[in-house]
């Protein structure tokens, strides 16, 4: 049984026969090992396949990748090979994953992480996007410095997307649109593009400061800031803007943290606004420029925003000036200690520590403050699960959701609500 095989054992074997447990959010085949996962692109759930295991990319990785050598017991959903590069490319098995299947895969991911790191068995739900947000198509690619070229290039082992028989008309339409948009700009030196069925690599040239500044002449409503060695060396366009976000208008600058996928994130913030109970005092820990505070401030007499980024706190003050909101800049534990010393008794607290765990010191001060309701927003479900272990001795887990704020990627936001025990 593959479930009894360790990562080290699988890596030491030249070839291994496995049964695919399930497919991931990109429809890749997933095999559960004793201490990690084996990822097999082009293999379908329930198939028995012979694979060649590739060397681990990093010693601490909990994932191994493998290439299909033979499909021993094929799935009834398997597509026939469309060309001679079948076993190298596996593009014939590339499928357009549905929104529902992607969300289901991410729900399972959150459930598995919580069970492993927090010992909690839950039923995770999805905070749904508005219907209009499901129609977008995203082509993800890696930016690579490569001389003076800009183009799309596939790996040699992958069938060129230009003549891949497995592609659907919709996928070809996306590729053609992307190429046409690049060709519109005469300033770009564009090489003949090739495409892989599931990977596009965009090659861009390094560019000197003078060439970047020349873009200013043709930029309309665009701000560009280039950071080099920690300093801003190239800048043009507006230095700040106002964004319409989940029903709120927020001021943002070049240095402000705002959700990268605005359309996908807006339903999460609207959901927070609708579900947040009313009360006297709310605390927004990791407030940034006030995305969460702006949604819930009308429900509370007083709101406190705490963030380690002093620049973000200044923008927070501007965005929340219509409410009785107070901003505290500094480390989380210091801001929480100030609230304890002030005798603040929060009815509700949101926590967004980005991708790092809160740590013992911060959690101790949260327990001193003892808000009645907690909403933990965890961009890293693993970090959030580790913090949850300490929080569950004071609060009771109410519900768990995943918010698909980065569609078509492996990232998801774990959202956990807790109430005082």
Three-class SS state of 373: strand
Task: For residue 21, give the DSSP letter.
Answer: -
- The beta strands (E) that lie in 79-140 are given as 125-127
Q: C-alpha distances in angstroms, 82 versus 3, 88, 162, 280?
A: 33, 12, 14, 64
Question: What DSSP string describes 279-329?
Answer: EEEEEEET-TTTHHHHHHGGGEEEEEEEES-HHHHHHHHHHTTTS-EEEEE
- Supply φ then ψ for residue 130, to 5 degrees: -60, 155
Is 307 assigned a ligand-binding role in the annotation? yes
- Supply φ then ψ for residue 23, to 5 degrees: -110, 145
The answer to whether 102 and 25 have CB atoms below 8 angstroms apart is yes
d(CA 348, CA 343): 15
Taking Cα atoms as reference points, which of 254, 282, 140 lies closest to residue 202?
Answer: 140
Token representation of residue 154: 């596939």
Which residues, in sequence order, are CB contacts of 298 under 8 Å at separation 6+? 323
d(CA 53, CA 290): 47
Q: C-alpha distances in angstroms, 239 versus 210, 222, 259, 301?
A: 20, 10, 18, 33
Is 352 assigned a ligand-binding role in the annotation? yes
The answer to whether 44 and 70 have CB atoms below 8 angstroms apart is no
The answer to whether 105 and 180 have CB atoms below 8 angstroms apart is no
Cite the annotated binding site for S-adenosyl-L-methionine by residue number. 307, 352
* Binding residue positions: 307, 352
């Amino acid at each position: 049984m593959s479930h009894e095989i360790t990562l080290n054992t699988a890596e030491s074997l030249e070839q291994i026969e496995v049964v695919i447990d399930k497919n991931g959010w990109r429809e890749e085949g997933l095999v559960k090992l004793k201490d990690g996962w084996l990822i097999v692109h082009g293999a379908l759930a329930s198939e028995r396949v012979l694979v060649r295991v590739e060397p681990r990319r990093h010693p601490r990785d909990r994932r191994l990748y493998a290439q299909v050598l033979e499909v021993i017991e094929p799935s009834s959903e398997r597509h026939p090979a469309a060309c001679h590069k079948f076993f190298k490319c596996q593009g014939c098995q590339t499928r357009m994953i549905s929104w529902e299947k992607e969300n289901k895969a991410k729900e399972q991911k959150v459930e598995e992480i919580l069970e492993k790191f927090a010992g909690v068995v839950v039923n995770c739900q999805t905070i749904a996007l508005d219907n209009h947000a499901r129609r977008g198509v995203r082509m993800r690619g890696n930016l690579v410095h490569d001389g003076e070229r800009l183009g799309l290039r596939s790996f040699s082992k992958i069938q060129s997307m230009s003549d891949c028989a497995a592609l659907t008309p919709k996928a070809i339409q996306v590729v053609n649109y992307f190429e046409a948009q690049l060709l519109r700009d005469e300033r770009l030196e564009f090489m003949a593009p090739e495409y892989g069925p599931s990977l596009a690599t965009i090659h861009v040239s390094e560019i000197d400061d003078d060439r970047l500044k020349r873009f200013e002449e043709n930029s309309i409503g665009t701000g560009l800031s280039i950071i080099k060695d920690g300093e801003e060396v190239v800048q043009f366009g507006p230095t700040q803007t106002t964004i319409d976000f989940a029903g709120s208008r927020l001021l943002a600058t070049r240095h402000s943290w705002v959700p990268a996928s605005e359309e996908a994130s807006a339903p999460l913030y609207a959901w927070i606004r609708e579900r947040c109970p009313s009360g006297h005092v709310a605390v927004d820990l990791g407030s940034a420029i006030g995305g969460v505070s702006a949604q819930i401030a009308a429900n509370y007499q007083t709101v406190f925003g705490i963030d380690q980024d002093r620049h973000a706190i200044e923008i927070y003050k501007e965005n929340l000036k219509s409410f009785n909101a107070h901003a505290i800049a500094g480390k989380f534990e210091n801001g929480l200690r100030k609230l304890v010393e002030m005798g603040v008794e929060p009815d509700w607290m949101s926590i967004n520590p980005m991708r790092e765990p809160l740590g013992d010191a911060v959690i101790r001060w949260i327990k001193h403050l003892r808000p009645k309701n907690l909403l933990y927003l965890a961009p890293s479900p693993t970090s959030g699960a580790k913090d949850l272990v300490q929080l569950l001795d004071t609060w009771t887990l109410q519900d768990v959701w995943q918010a698909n704020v980065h569609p078509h990627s492996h990232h998801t936001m774990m959202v956990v609500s807790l109430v005082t025990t």
